[in-house]
Chains A and B, each alone.
Chain A
Amino acid sequence: MECQADIKIQSESKGSLYLVHFIKKYKYLDFVLNELESIAEIFGVSKENLYQQSRDSINIHKNPLVFGQGDSIESMLQNLKKDKLYALLEQRKPLKFDVEILGKTISTKEKVEIIERFGFLPFDPKIDLKNPEIIFKVLQNTKDDQWYFGLQIASNREERETFFHKYHLRTRPYLGPTSTETQLAFLMANQGQVKEGDFVYDPFVGTGSIALACSHFNCIQYGSDLDYRVLHGIGVGRKNENVKNDLLDSINPQYDIFTNFDYYQLRRPEILVMDIANLALNHQNSGPIFDSIICDPPYGVRAKSKKVGISKSKQQKYEDRVNARKQQQQENQDLDMIAQENQEIEEVEAQEHITMMEQYDVQKLYYDLLEHASHLLKKGGRIVYLFHTDTSLPEEKNKFPEHPDFEFICSSENNLTKCRARQLITMRRKL
């Protein structure tokens, strides 16, 4: 369902006025301006200037080039930039007119009445409602009563028309309980300004949802995770039975983190089993090799409970067990058993409302992340990550992570419950 649009951006560039119309979509409204600015910067357009080029963006739904504007249809028509408009009409391409009154549905009759107001144009247009090459848009913003008339450059109002539709979780062959939601993953990739050939790293890669979004933009992707099960497709990571693909079965019958990349024909990422607390990446010799770090750190760790000791030792016992068995080079069956045991532990923990780490440790995890990022990120490179806040907790627990080598760029809020939210934070490695 689509709601009323309530944000628009206009700006003047190269003498043309563009209008970006965001559709107020359920949860990511707070992300739109940050995303727009991030993408604009990729194309060398500063915050103050206009977003000119089209890139796969989650939130930008309409992007008309405006020929006329006014506080009524009459004044809009009087203000028409005829030279530009006529040049376009002279090409005599099949076209259609589209009318939209924001926040209001209007009848076909009303639409036709508005379109007929353009009858004065000295052209006999080739109307083609099915396959128009040109779409003219009449738009009234009922909030400020402005009318706009322009050429529609890009639009992705329908989810199934969007570039990210095919990446939807339910249509992916490999999934896990932590798989980051598709739109959010792409928003993160855009906050990170991922470009072709960039080296991008996700130190909490899990089932690779964020890595997949970044790889869509043709980067060289690296990922690591403490839990080898999500990487190898054992236990928690699983085959999505809704997706049938014989080819996939033959390329990689084991279904693991690489499966989705094969499926979408993207370059396979480089994957490591590794603990963020003990990175084996050699920045001394290799230097800061990453252009961006984009990740969703573990959030089960958001602590309310003080019963930290218990769960921590459970976690340790689990890890010890995993390590011990790994040493013995066990077969997958055994790993499955561990997975199951761990599942049970997790369930028990959930029941007892015990979380894995103490608040101190959450902050330490983020500090560690930024500290590593400071060595691994090239200067000016971005780190983009999710951070959970809970307004029922004391203020200092919701304080955004800080690090002397990083400057804060922006954050967007995604509300989960009345008190809890996740923040998408973007920071930049200082020059």
Chain B
Amino acid sequence: MKLITHNILMCNKKGCTTNNFPLKLVATNWKDLDTENAQQYNPALLQRLCEKIEWNALRQTVSTLNWGVNLPEQLSAELVQDEAFLQDLHLLLVKRQIVEGQMVCPNCERVYEIKNGIPNMLLREDEV
């Protein structure tokens, strides 16, 4: 799972309707994919990702991850032209795959496991 996916996931447990996004991410193991699988650095693609990203959720999540990247408060037109910034985004959004970890709902604290790069969002019978 990459951060672009974490960026659209919420808790969908029965009754959990507010403050259920973004999920708190605990990344215990991650891997930076090589250029073959991750595709080359591509500014146009990153600009497109910027349009899709919920910026606050991304920034907040990255600040808890200790990956040595800090994102600015706000996305701006100048920023998406900035090479160094786009390189950071390339690492965060395209290359880095979270292989093992957990996502925890900030509201109900339901834990969603990530295994082999695949989060499990299935709910139990009594949770739907």
Q: Find residues 366-415 in chain A having any chain B CB closer than 8 Å to their own CB.
A: none
Question: Are A272 and B54 in touch, CB under 8 angstroms?
Answer: no
Interface flags, A264-301, vs B, CB<8A=1, else 0? 01111011111101111110011001000000000000
A278 CB contacts on chain B under 8 angstroms: 12, 121-123, 128
Q: Is A179 on the interface with B (CB-CB < 8 A)?
A: no
Q: Is B118 on the interface with A (CB-CB < 8 A)?
A: yes
Q: Is A320 on the interface with B (CB-CB < 8 A)?
A: yes
Question: Are A280 and B12 in touch, CB under 8 angstroms?
Answer: yes
Contacts A197-B44, A262-B37: A270 and B120 contacting too (C-beta < 8 A)?
Answer: no
Q: Is A167 on the interface with B (CB-CB < 8 A)?
A: no
Question: Are B8 and A286 in touch, CB under 8 angstroms?
Answer: yes
Contacts A275-B122, A285-B21: A280 and B117 contacting too (C-beta < 8 A)?
Answer: no
B101 CB contacts on chain A under 8 angstroms: none
Interface flags, B31-56, vs A, CB<8A=1, else 0? 00100111100001100110010100
In this complex, how many residues of chain A approach chain B with their Cβ under 8 Å: the count is 41
Residue of A nearest to B42 (CB): A197
Q: Find residues 325-371 in chain A having any chain B CB closer than 8 Å to their own CB.
A: 326-327
Question: Are B121 and A254 in touch, CB under 8 angstroms?
Answer: no
B120 CB contacts on chain A under 8 angstroms: 228, 272-273, 326
> How distant is the Cα of A376 from the Cα of B119 in the complex, in angstroms?
19
B49 CB contacts on chain A under 8 angstroms: 220
Interface flags, B105-128, vs A, CB<8A=1, else 0? 000000010011111111111001
Contacts A258-B117, A285-B21, A285-B57: A280 and B11 contacting too (C-beta < 8 A)?
Answer: yes
> How distant is the Cα of A271 from the Cα of B10 in the complex, in angstroms?
15
Q: Is B80 on the interface with A (CB-CB < 8 A)?
A: no
Question: Are A228 and B37 in touch, CB under 8 angstroms?
Answer: no
Q: Is A199 on the interface with B (CB-CB < 8 A)?
A: yes
Residue of A nearest to B120 (CB): A273
Question: Are A279 and B12 in touch, CB under 8 angstroms?
Answer: yes
Q: Is B76 on the interface with A (CB-CB < 8 A)?
A: no
> How distant is the Cα of A18 from the Cα of B125 in the complex, in angstroms?
58
Residue of B nearest to A254 (CB): B116
Q: Is B26 on the interface with A (CB-CB < 8 A)?
A: no
Q: Is B59 on the interface with A (CB-CB < 8 A)?
A: no
> How distant is the Cα of A277 from the Cα of B38 in the complex, in angstroms?
31
Question: Are B118 and A268 in touch, CB under 8 angstroms?
Answer: no
Q: Is A202 on the interface with B (CB-CB < 8 A)?
A: no
A267 CB contacts on chain B under 8 angstroms: 37-39
Interface flags, B70-112, vs A, CB<8A=1, else 0? 0000000000000000000000000001000000000000001
Q: Given contacts A228-B118, A232-B116, A257-B118, list 18 more A-B pairs with CB under 8 A.
A: A199-B52, A228-B122, A231-B118, A254-B116, A256-B118, A258-B117, A261-B37, A265-B37, A268-B38, A278-B12, A280-B10, A280-B11, A280-B112, A282-B21, A319-B125, A320-B125, A323-B124, A326-B120
For this complex, 18 residue pairs linking A to B, each with C-beta atoms less than 8 Å apart, are A220-B4, A222-B5, A224-B121, A226-B122, A254-B116, A256-B118, A257-B118, A261-B37, A265-B37, A271-B118, A273-B121, A279-B12, A280-B12, A281-B8, A282-B21, A282-B54, A286-B7, A323-B125
Listed in ascending order, the chain B residues whose CB lies under 8 Å from chain A are 1-2, 4-5, 7-12, 21, 33, 36-39, 44-45, 48-49, 52, 54, 57, 97, 112, 115-125, 128
